[in-house]
Amino acid sequence: MKRPARKKIAQALGFLALRLAMAVVLAVLILLLGDIVRKGGGAISWEFLSQAPRRGMTEGGIFPAIVGTFLVTVITAVLAVPLGMSAAVYLNEYARQTRLTRLIRLSIRNLSGVPSIVYGLFGVILFVNALRLGTSVLSAGLTLGLMTLPWTITAGEEALKTIPDSYREGALALGATKWQTIRTNVLPYAVPGMLTGTVLGLARAAGETAPILFTGAAFYLPALPKSPGDQFMALPYHLYIMATQHHAILKVRPLAYGTALVLIFLVLGMNMAAIVVRYRLRKKQR
Amino acid sequence: MRKKKRNDLKEAAIGAFFFTSGILAVLVLIGIFLTLLATAVPAFREIPVGKFFGHSRWDPTSPEKAEYGLLSMIASTLLVTAGALLLAVPIGIAVAAYLSDVAPWRVREVLKPVVEILAGIPSVVVGFLGLVLFGPALARLFHTANGLNALNGSILLAVMSLPTIISISEDSLNAVPKAYSEASLALGASRWQTLVRVKLPAALSGIVAAVMLGLGRAIGETMTVLMATGNARSFPRGLLSSVRTMTADIAIELGEAPYFTTHYYALFAIGLVLFVMTFAVNLAADVVLRRYQERER
């Protein structure tokens, strides 16, 4: 009788420890988000969202940073989405199990592990200097685009994998060529899934700071960027400056909290939208 | 006949197009490595390699004599990362085990996206919270002037690497064949015993890979450590000392270093060291993960 009782106690204690670990993670998440929402909420107003910073960035809003983050994300998407999708099509539809295919997959997995600051260094050399794009929205967007590429490829492949082979075989049996099959029987069903995965990657890119530090983000600009060759203000960089580089850090703390809230709202909003859509898609496919 | 030929040509062209975008990933990876290498090498015309890796004084803008010793930054990176893993590995594995073996199906469906949210918080926001939330708390706890030290960075990096460790560990726990746990339960083992003595050992290589991927992320993280560790250039003396990691140093100094000077090249040399370190860790994780998946098949 003694042994089974001890076994039960061990299990109860063990499971309690696991539950505690989960509780710790949830508590940290609530602590982090709660602090930002509580202290950032007061800073949010229509003025904060729609006006430029004033008086050495001690007053006013973050409108130029919102615009800048939007613009740079558009360029990121223009590079990373089409390239990522076509690479995914190659890997899932064309590639055979060769050494080269394994090398491509290995490269993709390793690219997603390259530190973001290293992408920044690469962007400085390739886009800012070699291609003479200077520090600009374009350079920063392309740098972020390269960083996002492995994520969009993986997301695209995941979506293509969910399309049953019978779809492809049906078209091929009717005499369609490979591309006709992909165009009519694979892509139309895979694109929604590919796009949701892509949004997750773009959300991460929009929140990144290190790759844009030296490729185009600016401390403060009196005007919005007029062309892709101009420098820009960005939400993550603005938060970094307001938190560490400003001449009156404690005075602008509420503005920093407000910026953090807007950034989190934007990034997590994109994330959650994608997660919800993906969940629905999966349910439909079952 | 002619139409078929034209179609074949079109098909080949389209195939070639997709192949080109596929091969791009390889080119970018090689491109990053060669670019870093080419920009780092000129630094060693003035800095002896042994000094770069063996000395701990880093003072590139000194008016008397510029010093380029990377050792204290390597030590700082390793210290902060080790602290992060000490926190994140036990918690991450426990959460993964909770999600795969304890949580009811419905709870799990809710909690998994919640963990994903943690992965979605931008690093600059995490760093900001290290500055305004964890910093003052640590200062009060340990009676230090401010809480900007290696410990703060470790806590933040643990938070940032948790989602990676949790999701990959959970995947590998779920990939353990049902027959293993059924056999264990049928022999009279409890669910806890089955988890600890059967499932965790069977999933071990996946968990090791998860930890290594988390390690890679922690080594390369920039903004959180930049904002939360205080950035002192001295050799770290413990988790409560202010430290400057390799990533933070690049972020601090690249803006001030004039293009194409020894200082500029030296920062790219740090980038190269970072690239090689994370590449090695990720490659090792990859090998472990592949071998494990092949065995399971």
The CATH number assigned to the domain holding A252 equals: 1.10.3720.10
Min Cα separation A11/chain B (Å): 5
Contact flag A209-B283 (C-beta cutoff 8 Å): no
User: A-B interface: how many C-beta pairs under 8 angstroms?
Assistant: 258
Q: A29-40 pLDDT, tens per residue?
A: 999 999 999 998
Mean pLDDT rounded to a whole number for chain A: 88
Residue of B nearest to A28 (CA): B159
Tell me the C-alpha distance between A202 and A151, whole Å: 9
Q: Based on the domain organization, do A145 and A180 belong to the same domain?
A: yes
Q: Based on the domain organization, do A110 and A29 belong to the same domain?
A: no
Question: At a CB cut-off of 8 Å and minimum separation 6, what does B153 contact?
Answer: B80, B83, B84, B130, B224, B225, B228, B229, B243, B245
| Chain A residues with CB-CB distance to B193 below 8 A | 7, 10-11
Tell me the C-alpha distance between B195 and B204, whole Å: 12
Q: Based on the domain organization, do A202 and A257 belong to the same domain?
A: yes
Region for residue A134 given its phi and psi (left: phi exceeds 0; alpha: psi -120 to 50; beta: otherwise): left
Supply the pTM of this predicted model.
0.91
Q: Based on the domain organization, do A16 and A123 belong to the same domain?
A: no
Residue of A nearest to B92 (CA): A21
| Chain B residues with CB-CB distance to A36 below 8 A | 125, 129
Question: In this structure, what token pair is assigned to residue A131?
Answer: 């291609």
Tokens 């960035």 identify what position?
A57
Of B7, B101, B129, the CB nearest to A32: B129
Q: What is the pLDDT of residue B194?
A: 92
Question: How confident is residue A285, by pLDDT bands cut at 50, 70 and 90?
Answer: low
Tell me the C-alpha distance between B129 and B126, whole Å: 5
Tell me the C-alpha distance between B244 and A168, whole Å: 54
End-to-end CA distance of chain B: 46
Contact flag B254-A21 (C-beta cutoff 8 Å): no
Angle at B201 between CA B198 and CA B206, to 5 degrees: 130
Supply the range of the domain harboring residue A12: 2-41
Question: How confident is residue A123, by pLDDT bands cut at 50, 70 and 90?
Answer: very high
A246 or A187, higher pLDDT:
A187
- How many folded domains does chain A comprise? 2
Q: Based on the domain organization, do A79 and A194 belong to the same domain?
A: yes
Q: Based on the domain organization, do A23 and A78 belong to the same domain?
A: no
Q: What is the pLDDT of residue B26?
A: 93
Q: Based on the domain organization, do A27 and A86 belong to the same domain?
A: no
Q: Based on the domain organization, do A35 and A148 belong to the same domain?
A: no
Q: What is the pLDDT of residue B184?
A: 92
| Chain B residues with CB-CB distance to A93 below 8 A | 18
CB-based contact (8 Å) between A169 and chain B? no
Count Cα neighbours of B130 within 13 Å in the Cβ-side half-sphere. 29
Q: Which helix (H) or strand (E) holds A97?
A: none
What ipTM describes this predicted complex?
0.91
Greatest pairwise CA separation for chain B in angstroms: 86
Q: Which of B4, B5, B9, B18 to mutate to test the interface with A (most CBs of A within 10 A)?
A: B18
Q: Which letter, b or e, does each residue of B102-114 get, where b requires 16 or more Cβ atoms within 10 Å of its Cβ?
A: bbeeeeeeebeee
Q: A52-103 pLDDT, tens per residue?
A: 777 777 777 788 899 999 999 999 999 999 999 999 999 998 988 888 998 9
Residue A51 is given by DSSP the state S
H helices within A136-247, ranges in order?
137-161, 165-173, 178-181, 187-206, 235-240
Q: Based on the domain organization, do A117 and A137 belong to the same domain?
A: yes
Does the pLDDT at position A22 exceed 90?
yes
Q: Based on the domain organization, do A83 and A174 belong to the same domain?
A: yes
Q: B204-244 pLDDT, tens per residue?
A: 988 998 999 999 999 999 999 999 998 888 888 888 888 99
Contact flag B191-A106 (C-beta cutoff 8 Å): no
Does the pLDDT at position A1 exceed 70?
no
Contact flag B32-A114 (C-beta cutoff 8 Å): yes
Min Cα separation B182/chain A (Å): 17
Min Cα separation B62/chain A (Å): 22
Q: Based on the domain organization, do A32 and A51 belong to the same domain?
A: no
Q: Based on the domain organization, do A34 and A91 belong to the same domain?
A: no
Q: Which helix (H) or strand (E) holds B151?
A: helix B150-174
Question: In this structure, what token pair is assigned to residue B129?
Answer: 């919270």
| Chain B residues with CB-CB distance to A124 below 8 A | 254
Residue A94 is given by DSSP the state I
Residue of A nearest to B22 (CA): A87
Does the pLDDT at position A5 exceed 70?
yes
Question: At a CB cut-off of 8 Å and minimum separation 6, what does B268 contact?
Answer: A121, A125, B36, B39, B40, B43
Q: What is the pLDDT of residue B296?
A: 56
Question: How confident is residue A189, by pLDDT bands cut at 50, 70 and 90?
Answer: confident
Given a cut of 50, the residues of chain B with pLDDT beneath it are 297
Min Cα separation B145/chain A (Å): 17
Min Cα separation A147/chain B (Å): 10
Of A91, A95, A236, the CB nearest to B124: A236
Q: What is the pLDDT of residue B1?
A: 55
What percent of chain A lies above the pLDDT cut of 70?
97
Tokens 């496919």 identify what position?
A285
